[in-house]
Each structure stands twice: as C-alpha cells, then as structure tokens.
Structure 1
Amino acid sequence: EIDLGVAMDVTHHDKESDIEIGKGPALSVGGPNIHKGYFKLLDNYAKDKEFKVQYEFGSGRTGTDADNVQIAGSGVPTLLLSLPQMFMHTPVEVVQISDVACTARLLAGFFISLKGGESL
C-alpha cells in the first residue's frame, strides 16, 4: 500500500494570478484530492524551515496527475505542488531556477522528516 503520492505540475503566473515567480512553489489547498493531514505536515514543515511557499486554493478536481493518483487502488493520500510558470503552453515556457531548487529542497527535507506513523 502506498503511504503518500505527490504530484508535481506547473501553475499559471500572470496578471490575474496571485501566484508569482520567484516566491516558491504553490501548495494546493483544499479540494477532494488533497490530503488534509499530509498538507498540514508539509505546510508546517515549510514554515518551520522557512521555505518560501504560496497557496493555490481549489474546491474540485485539480486537472493534474493528483486526481488520478488519489483514486488509485483503494485511494492514496495525495499532495500537489506546482511551479509558477509564465507563458504556459507556448514554445517559451519560463520558470525560475530558485523555485525549482526550493521545491526540490522542500520535498527532500519533508520526505526525510517523515518517520512513519504520523498522526494525520
């Protein structure tokens, strides 16, 4: 049985979005596909270690692999992290390297911090 599924994607950075390039990954909050307990653990870890993160709020399907991961088998606790990206679906998609590095360090540290048997 799978303990945790983490989907990685990109999200829009544009004039209408509250998500900004250079301010860290966007953690998906809410919706039926995002596990509340693991989200709290990840969010608390990010705050404790002073990682820059942003929040992307949802109430339904995410339109990402998180949707399929969550319903795999008998259900998988799932998180979704998205990199802010400019010019999505064009030949010149842009992300900031510091956001990529922050996301990698955040996930690596978070995974190491999990001991198993966390109270969710």
Structure 2
Amino acid sequence: MTCKNHYKQPLGSIGKCDCDCPKRPRPDKHVLMLFENCAPFAGNKYTPYNTIYDTQPDSLPVTIAATIENFSTDAIIVTIFRKGYDQVVTTVQGGSSLTFVYDKVLRITVNACQEYTGSFKHQITYEVEK
C-alpha cells in the first residue's frame, strides 16, 4: 500500500505503508499556553468592579482555574464574565476563599462596601492557532 496522505487512509493502516508516515492522531491545530501567577488585590467602595483579570481580544479561548482569597473581615463580591454565558456573581466571606474552574472567561472583578484585600492565585490556559 502506498501512502501519500496517511490521514486519509482507513484506521489500522499504520505500518502497512511503504513510507514514513506520521502517527495518528493528527496534531492539534491549536497551541495551549499555560500561565500561572499569584497577585494581591485591594480596593474599597470607591473602586467598584475592580478588575483583577481581563483578556483582550475577547475572542481568545481561555480556561482558568483560580482561588480568590479574602483577607478582609467583610465579604467581597466576585463577578466572573464569560463569553456566551450569563455572568457568575458570588460572595466570598471575610477570611474565606473561593476556588473555581471556568472556560471562556473574559474578565473577573471584585468589589465590596468596605476596604478589602485579598489574593488571586490562578492557572490560565490560552488556546491559540498554530
């Protein structure tokens, strides 16, 4: 059997060609880039929707695993904006943390009625075209 384009051959034909063919599966057309960091944040009632994560352009597919820790005594409100979905709004009580994994994340904001401090630990996977 000759093999000009092994990807068009039926399954099970690897090793039956008389040429050096790439192994299945076909390589992805996307490259996954991993980025991780831990960053502090702070604000007060005069910094509503304090942006702690933002992606531009918003067409870049992003999956994020993160923990938001609230070092304050009062609660903070976390808003996660996702492409094609309603935003997720949740409260993190003082001295507590929130851990989550979401895909298609565009932006993450925090706000509160009092002064607040915390940390944003995250691992982000960006998917880009080769």
Same fold (TM over 0.5): no
Q: Going by fraction, where is helix more abundant, 1 or 2?
A: 1
Quickly name the TM-score band, shorter chain normalised. Answer: under 0.3
TM-score, length of structure 1 as denominator length: 0.24
Greater fraction of residues in strand: 2
TM-score normalised by length of structure 2: 0.23
